[in-house]
Structure 1
C-alpha cells in the first residue's frame, strides 16, 4: 500500500510536468518559454479581438494553472508527507489520513490557481502582460522581482515558512486522525504554504508562465526551502538575489 501510494504520487507529478510540456509545444514555445513564429504571433494578439483564444479565457487558463500547481507544489510536499508517516505509529495516523493531508493541501493550491487565473486575465486585459503571461514593461517585471525579494524578509514569510519547514510542529499542535482529520490538516498546511510560496508563482509573470525552465527553477528552490536541514539557510539569500535582479531589470529596461 505504501509503495503504491508513493509511486502514484510521483507518477502524478511526472504526468503534470508532461502535460505542461505538451501545452508548451502546442503554443510553439521551447523549454525557456521562447516563442517560435506561431508563439510570437500569439503573444502579440489583442485579447479583446472577437475570436476564441484559450489563454484569454478563464476555463482553459485555470486548468493550465491547476496542472502547474500539481507539477510545482506537490514535490514540495514530500518532506511533510514523510513527517506524517513518521507519526503514523506514534500518533495513530493512517494511510487514509495521509491521503487526506495530500488532498487538503492540493485543494488550497487549486483555489490559488483560480485566484491567479483571475489576476492573469486582469493583467492581460489591462495590457500589463502579453498573451503568454510575460510582463510587457521592465518596470513591472523588475518591480515584481523586488516585491517578492523583499517579502522573503517579512514576518509573514517567517511564520509561513516556519510551518512548511517544520511540519512536525504543526502536526503535533493540530493533530486529527482519519481522512477527515488529515484533510483538515492538509487545508491548514496548504494555506501556510500559499502564504510562503505565492511570490514564486507570481514570478511566472516575469520569466513567462509557460517557461518550463524558469518555473522548474522556482520549484527546485521551493523544495530546497522546505528541507529540514538547510531550508532556513536559503530564504534570505534568495531575497537578496531577487532584489538585486529586480533592480537590474528596472535599470536595464
Structure 2
C-alpha cells in the first residue's frame, strides 16, 4: 500500500496542529530517553548475570515484573519513536484529508496501540529472561554456553537481514495501514508489522544487553535508518553485513579459550 505524502496543502489550523504534534513528540522522546538513562545508571545490564533477572531483597516478583514492564515500555518509546513519527504524520494527514475534525485523539490512540504491542513483547522477554536466569543458577554449565549462543543469535540476526521475509516485513512496516477501523486497531496493526520487521535487531539488543545504552543507541539507529532511508532494503543488508561480522567475532571470542 502506498503511503500518503506529507507535503499536502492543508488549512492553517492543521499546520498549527502539526507543530503541536511535533512539539509533544519531542518532549516525549526527551522524557523517555532521560528515564532510560536514569534506569541504566540504577541497574546492571540485564544480560550481565542471572541475578539481574531476579527480584532484589524485599521485592516481590510482581513488583519486579511491573518495574521491568515500565522500564521496557519507556525504553521502547525512546528507541522506536524516531522511526514511528513519520508514519504517524502520514496518518494524521490522511485523517485531515478524510475530513476528521480532531486528529489528536486518534493519533494518541494509535501510538498507544503501537506501544501496547511492544509492552506485550516486553512481558514475553521478561518471562524468557527470568526462566533462563533460573536455569543458569540451577545448571551453572549453561553460563559457559550463553556467550557462544549470544554470538550465534547476532550472526543469525545478521543473516536474516538479507532474507526475502525481511524485505517483505520492512515494506509492510514502511507503508501506512488502511484507515478503516478504530485508531487503536490501526496502532496495533502498525506495531505488529514493525515488531516483525525489526525482530532480528531486537534479538541483537536482547543478547548484547537490554539496558546497555550503546546497544540501545546502535539498534535504534539501525531500525530508524532502514525504515526511513529511501533505499531501506539496501540499508538493511548493510546492517546485516555488520551484524554478521559482529556475530562471528563474538562467537569466536566466546569459543576460544
Q: Distance in 2 between matches of 1:12 and 1:214?
A: 21
User: Gaps (5+ residues) in structure 1?
Assistant: 34-38, 129-133
* Change beyond 3 A, Cα 1:120–1:87: same
TM-score by length of 2: 0.77
1:64 — aligned with what?
Answer: 71
Query: 1:1-253 alignment to 2 at 5 Å?
Result: 1-27=17-43, 43=49, 45=51, 51-52=57-58, 57-93=64-100, 94-95=102-103, 96-127=105-136, 137-167=146-176, 170=177, 174-176=178-180, 181-227=182-228, 229-253=230-254
SS in 2 for 1:92: coil
CA positional deviation for 1:166: 2.8
Aligned-pair RMSD on alpha carbons? 3.0
The number of residues matched between the two structures is 229
Q: Is the 8 A contact 2:161 2:237 kept in 1?
A: yes
* Change beyond 3 A, Cα 1:228–1:182: farther
1:119-158 superposed Cα distances (whole Å, 9 cap, x missing partner): 2212222229xxxxx9973311211101211221333322
User: Gaps (5+ residues) in structure 2?
Assistant: 1-16, 138-142
TM-score by length of 1: 0.78
Q: Is the 8 A contact 1:166 1:228 kept in 2?
A: no
Q: Distance in 2 between matches of 1:50 and 1:12?
A: 30
2:5 — aligned with what?
Answer: none
Q: Is the 8 A contact 2:150 2:207 kept in 1?
A: yes
* Change beyond 3 A, Cα 1:44–1:98: closer
CA positional deviation for 1:162: 0.6
Q: Distance in 2 between matches of 1:16 and 1:203?
A: 21
CA positional deviation for 1:215: 0.4
* Change beyond 3 A, Cα 1:110–1:205: closer
